[in-house]
Amino acid sequence: MKSLALSDEILLTIEKPARYLGNETHAVMKNKEEVAIRFCMCFPDVYEIGMSHLGIQILYDLFNRREDTWCERVYSPWVDLDKLMREQGIPLFALESQDPVRDFDFLGITLQYEMCYTNVLQILHLAGIPLHAARRTEADPLVIGGGPCAYNPEPLADFFDLFYIGEGETSYPALLDAYKSNREQGGSREDFLKIAARIPGIYVPSLYEVTYKEDGTIASFTPRDPQIPARVEKQLVTDLNQVSYPTKPLVPFIKVTQDRVVLEIQRGCIRGCRFCQAGMIYRPTRERDAGKLMDYSREMLAATGHEEVSLSSLSSSDYSQLPQLVDFLIETAGQEGVNISLPSLRIDAFSLDVMSKVQDIKKSSLTFAPEAGTQRMRNVINKGLTEEDILKGAALAFAGGWNKVKLYFMLGLPTETEEDIRGIPRLAEKIAKRYYEIPKEERNGKCQITISTSFFVPKPFTPFQWASMDTQASFLKKAHMVNQEMKEQLNKKSMRYNWHEAEVSVLEGVFARGDRRLCKVLEKAYENGCLYDSWSECFYLEGWQKAFAETGIDPAFYTSRARSREEILPWDFLDVGVSKAFLLKEWDKSQEEQVTPNCRQACQGCGAGKYRTGVCKENREEISCENTN
């Protein structure tokens, strides 16, 4: 039996020691002497969050199917263990072998959210790996990042050897083969990085040079080597039915955020909301066959003992085989007492009918995401929902027995007016009135409406990437305006309002559209004690303010400033399929409050047609999708 990296004394003094023991059901154990490559997969957040991430499960399964590779895992130690590891000099370790992370060939870090960036530095620091890629030697692991935040890797460029742009099932096998071959031939770390940079989807920051203009904007972004591509192209799976899926996922010993079987039914989204990065970077929409998903559900329930199945998708209602898949799950899993979760559904008659079959209406709540309080603003963001759609859906839900509703909105959207802000509580009031129009004897208790507002953050590869972002003071002023309006509503006792932390949103905006110069801010913030920034109880604003002051960098340069059409953006060297010409066209249409049809209604020539798969292949106008200007 393996020896644990932490002593019994330490395990007895920290919160949830099972986070660090490994040995979970389906954890993969191999003989490290019999593999050529050791890969440590990291999610830079607490264990319960990281264990719920589907991408980690997919890559863990993919890598461990290779006989020459052993993939293990590591998560950010919580603050209690973090303190002890620093005090006692305990190196960060992988869960499976309990070996130090610095002994591995690769450290792969999932970049899911900008507010996890200080945790990335925590991982490197505790592992004993030099923070800066330029200072690493042949003895150090290669640090590679991936995930949605890798679509603007520049604020982390100094700390990573490589970034993987796209879906892991495509180029990772070639990358691992190249590493193995380079080592067998006696090649150096630098040799491998030059080889890797020529593999589709791989970005090596050290092999590119950035220069700046006097106004702080980028003057040029060029490869240092003529053999390195000037643009790095996103990699994606063209046929989801032909790639493996983890039918024996890891099962934790403690409760985690997503304690359930997860069936990924499709990737991508047809909707085209102009604020949504995922809806752009994961294009085109591709589906998994319902028959395969049915087989997966049987295998995964038998292998895990989970009591819930969740369908994973950006927009589950748009999955073309949803009726037969749900009927199957109701007939099989439902009869065995397994719950069925259907997130990301549009609230219409079909969806409500499905949910009524799989949910305990008395216990569950429905989630609507109008995103904006007025029709004008919903047209600006291309939400594709009219007020009548929303009210009709609410009425159908209330008539079906639901009485708890969660409403999600955004504040600070481009072109927003005071009328748009006040429209949020007014729309909520209209929804509440629909409930009280039902005869009293037919109501399911008292109506409960929870309104949540987040603050708009412009993201790369969206039509709003050129927009300015509100200040913290402006965000809070708008939130208080919504709150005050709610207090005046007739049904205020039925409503509750909460909003996201404005200072966190502003910081997210800085790093979402930032460049390489932010690396020194991030490093200073980490030195100042910033860690677990996405956790409100840990967020240390003063540490960040001090970091900006110490480095002389003004965060407003990255947030409050609108971008010109001619400006070179830090992520312009990436090709994600969706063209800049299309995004600019959508930006213009947003200013004119024009709605763009979804991908199944009419092709708009976004550029993703070049992949010739999914909805682009279904669409007979696919040739127009190939506009990649």
Q: The domain 260-359+574-629 is classified under which CATH number: 3.30.750.210, 2.60.120.620, 3.60.20.10, 3.40.50.970?
A: 3.30.750.210
Q: Is the pTM higher than 0.75?
A: yes
pLDDT, position 363: 63
Contact 458, 467 (CB under 8 A): yes
The pLDDT mean for the chain works out to: 94
In the block, residue with structure tokens 């920034």: 533
Check residue 361 and give its pLDDT. Answer: 60
- Measured CA to CA in angstroms, residue 440 lies from 313, 398, 435, 450 at distances of 37, 12, 9, 21
pLDDT at 364: 73
pLDDT of residue 444: 83
**Which portions of the chain are predicted below pLDDT 70?**
1, 361-363, 489-493, 619-629
What is the residue extent of each domain of the chain? 8-233, 260-359+574-629, 365-517+553-563
Q: What is the pLDDT of residue 362?
A: 63
- Measured distance CA(559)–CA(461) in Å, rounded: 16
Q: Which residue has the tokens 């009280």?
A: 436
Closest CA to 476 of 448, 447, 446, 453: 453
Closest CA to 409 of 275, 310, 537, 597: 275
Angle (deg, nearest 10), helices 189-196 and 168-184: 150
Instruction: Please tell me if the domain spanning 260-359+574-629 has the same topology as the one spanning 365-517+553-563.
Output: yes
What CA–CA distance (Å, rounded) separates 462 from 272? 9
For the domain spanning 8-233, the CATH number is 3.40.50.280
Q: Which CATH architecture has domain 365-517+553-563?
A: 2-Layer Sandwich (3.30)
pLDDT in tens, 414-472: 999 999 999 999 999 999 999 989 888 888 888 899 999 999 999 999 999 999 999 99
Q: What residue type is assigned to position 137 of the chain?
A: T
Residues 122 and 526 sit within 8 Å (Cβ to Cβ): yes
**What pLDDT is attached to residue 487?**
81
Q: Position of tokens 């409960």?
A: 448
Q: Residue 590 has which token pair?
A: 């947003």
Q: Are 471 and 560 in contact (CB under 8 A)?
A: yes
At residue 489, the pLDDT reads: 66
Q: Which residues are CB-neighbours of 556 under 8 A, at least 6 positions away?
A: 471
